[in-house]
Amino acid sequence: MHPFSYFRASGADDVNKALRDEGTRILAGGTTLYDLMKLDVENPVRVVDISGLAPQPIRVENDTLILDSLLRMSQAAENETLRLRSPALREALMLAASQQLRNMATLGGNLLQRTRCSYFRHGEPYACNKRQPASGCAALEGLNRNHALFGGSNACIAVYPGDFATALAAFDARVEITGPSGARELDLVDLHREPGETPHLETHLRPDEFIKAIHIPLTKAARSSTYVKIRDRESYAFALVSAAVGIEMEGEIVRDVRIALGGVATRPWRSAAAEQALIGRPLNDDTAQAAGRAAFVGASTTRHNAFKTELGARVVADALMIAKTRI
C-alpha cells in the first residue's frame, strides 16, 4: 500500500473541497477501497473519510423512495417501505456479501464497487486494460467462466458484480449526484459505462462528484417483484447469473414488466427484448421461458461461459413466475 494523507470530513462542504484535488478518494464503509488499495489497484494521494457523516432519513416523496447514499446496506434492507413496495430491491441487498459486510458497506459505495475479475485484482503478470490502460485483456483467451456476455469489447469483458444496482436498473431508479459544480441527477442505467476502448473509465461520475442519494419510483411492477440470484455457493458469493423482475398485470395480460440481468454484463443490464416478449401477453410457463430466451439473444459467449445463456434464461423464467405470485 502506498503512502497517503487522511482527512475526516465533518460535512458536505469538506467533501466538495477535498474532491477538487486530484488523486482524492472517498472512504465510506471501506469494504471496497481498502481491498483495492492493498491490491495496488487504487493508489489515492488523499483519502477523505465520510463515514462519520449522518445519512438523511429514508423518506417517500411523490411516490418515490429516497435512500441516502450513506445508509448501510443492512439499514436499507430493514426499511418497511422497501420490503413491502419493492421486494426485489430488498432481496438484492440481502443476497449481497455477508451480514458483517452489509453492516459496514454503504449504498453509494456498493453502486461503485469495481469488478471482481481475477486478472484485474491480481495484476502482473496478467494483462488488464482496466487496471493498466493499453496493456491488454488476459480474460479474452484466459479463464473467463465468470465474464460478460453483454456490453464487452475487445478491450475488456469484466462483469459488473453488484446486486443492488442490477435491481435498481429494473425499476427506473435515478441517482442524485453532487460536487463543487452543483447537483444533478442521472438514470441508474446511465451511471456505469461500457468498457469500449477505455475500460478504466467505469462510470459517468466526474472526478469531483459523489452520489448523494438514490431515488426509486414505487410502481406497481416494483411491488410485484423479486430478485433471483444463482451462484456457486449459497452465501458470500457473486452472481453467475441473476435477474431482477417486476410485473404489472391487467387481468391475465402483462401490462408492464421490468427485467434486469446481473452477473452477465459489464454494467447493470436492462433487457428490453425480454420485456417486449411479454408485454400484451399472458404470463405462464411457456411465455416466461420465451422471455428468458429472448433476454439472451445476441449474447457474446466465450470458451468457458456459454453455459450462462441457458442458465440465465431459466433464471429469468423462474423470477417471472415468482413475481406473478406477488400480485
Domain 1-49 in this protein, CATH class: alpha beta
Of 172-176, 205-209, 241-245, which range is least confident?
205-209
The string of pLDDT tens digits covering residues 100-136 is 999 999 999 999 999 999 999 998 899 999 999 999 9
Could you please state the CATH topology (level 3) that the domain comprising 220-324 is classified under: Enolase-like; domain 1 (3.30.390)
Are the CB atoms for 283 and 327 separated by under 8 Å? no
pTM, entire model: 0.96
Backbone angles phi, psi at 118, to 5 degrees: -65, -30
State yes or no: pLDDT of 195 exceeds 90: yes
- CATH 3.30.43.10 spans which residues of the chain? 1-49
Query: Distance between CA 7 and CA 26 in Å, rounded?
Result: 10
pLDDT at 124: 86
Are the CB atoms for 140 and 154 separated by under 8 Å? yes
pLDDT, average across residues 145-162: 98
Helix, strand or coil, per DSSP, at residue 270: strand
pLDDT at 50: 96
